[in-house]
Amino acid sequence: MILAIDYGGSNFRYQLDTHPIVILETQSVDLMLFLEEMMVQYPIESIAISFAGQVRNGVILSAPHIALHNVEIQKVIKERYAIPLVIDNDLKCAALYEASLNPHANTLAVLYIGTGFGGALVHQGKIIGGANNFAGEIGHTPFRATPFGCGCGRNDCLELSLSGKALALWSHHYGLDLEEFRLEDIKSKPKGDTIHQNFLDALAHSFFTVLNLFDPDGFIYSGSVMQNNPHLIDFLQECYTQSAFKTVRKAPKIELSISKEGCLEGAKLLLNQEKK
């Protein structure tokens, strides 16, 4: 059996082969204990984990909310049970899955604008990791100073202008009461146009950065803020028309993601790559 896990900031979801997905609260799960219990109960032959945190070479470097640092999870499982375990950052897993849906794309950029902002790039079927597997952490690129602090320690990260968290922080800052982060609603409130314009500026800035650095065949946008504001795709198409070299290159595809289980499915694809 394959055990696939989507370790998110709030939800811990797992699936045995193609059985229904089971959802637990992340904070209620001790990952190592969970794996040990699953190994006792089921004939598990391999484990694939999509992880909402930083991971490098099978080692968990940092995790949301909880103290999981420098856990050599791949090595521990291999030594204890002699089975393969693959693990990577959740956005990287999701990007791998998106790439499998777009097999003709040479380079694909997958950008997530939900609670946070981040992304991943897949080139010729492989995730671009960089020297430290931090490639794609575009949310922490300095943009404009804000009155807020980012989890990374800075106060000017793109994520503080371009994310659901940013919209909540800015709305609170200006005393706006917003339940749903629909930009069209925000725009009509006092000071809402400032938040809206700052968001669009950050979106355009991140788009041009990725476009000019990687020249992708396609941009796939995912996350709740994008899904709630599909008109942002039109905005990005418009941005493209103002880009350099637009007359001599093929326009990239710019679309909303349609995949629901990209993280879980992408983690399983990691397993296939490991076998090769």
CB 138 to Zn ion: min, Å = 10
Among 140, 196, 205, 268, binds Zn ion (CB under 5 A): 140
Give the nearer residue to Zn ion in terms of CB position, either 154 or 191.
Answer: 154
Give the nearer residue to Zn ion in terms of CB position, either 20 or 153.
Answer: 153
Give the nearer residue to Zn ion in terms of CB position, either 9 or 84.
Answer: 9
Contact between 157 and Zn ion by CB under 5 A: the answer reads: yes
Interface stretch with Zn ion, choices 53-61, 126-134, 139-147, 234-242 (CB under 5 A):
139-147
Could you tell me if 4 and 14 are in contact, meaning their C-beta atoms sit under 8 angstroms apart? yes
Task: Report the phi/psi class of residue 112: left, alpha or beta, with left for phi > 0 and alpha for psi in -120 to 50.
Answer: beta
Contact between 202 and Zn ion by CB under 5 A: the answer reads: no
Contact between 150 and Zn ion by CB under 5 A: the answer reads: yes
Contact between 152 and Zn ion by CB under 5 A: the answer reads: yes
> What is the rounded CA–CA span in Å between residue 16 and residue 37?
13
Residue 229's Cβ-count burial label (10 Å; 0-12, 13-18, 19+) is buried
Contact between 63 and Zn ion by CB under 5 A: the answer reads: no
Contact between 95 and Zn ion by CB under 5 A: the answer reads: no
Could you tell me if 267 and 50 are in contact, meaning their C-beta atoms sit under 8 angstroms apart? yes
Give the nearer residue to Zn ion in terms of CB position, either 24 or 152.
Answer: 152
Could you tell me if 60 and 71 are in contact, meaning their C-beta atoms sit under 8 angstroms apart? yes
Give the nearer residue to Zn ion in terms of CB position, either 22 or 152.
Answer: 152
Interface stretch with Zn ion, choices 61-69, 137-145, 201-209, 227-235 (CB under 5 A):
137-145
Contact between 22 and Zn ion by CB under 5 A: the answer reads: no
Give the nearer residue to Zn ion in terms of CB position, either 103 or 153.
Answer: 153
What is each CA distance from 209 to 21, 118, 202, 204, in whole angstroms? 37, 13, 10, 8
Q: What is the C-alpha radius of gyration for the chain, rounded to an integer number of angstroms? A: 19
Give the per-residue SS3 of 89-127: EHHHHHHHHHHHHCCCCCEEEEEEECCCEEEEEEECCEE
> What is the rounded CA–CA span in Å between residue 63 and residue 59?
11
CB 37 to Zn ion: min, Å = 35
The residues of the shown chain that bind Zn ion, judged by CB under 5 A, are: 140, 150, 152, 154, 157
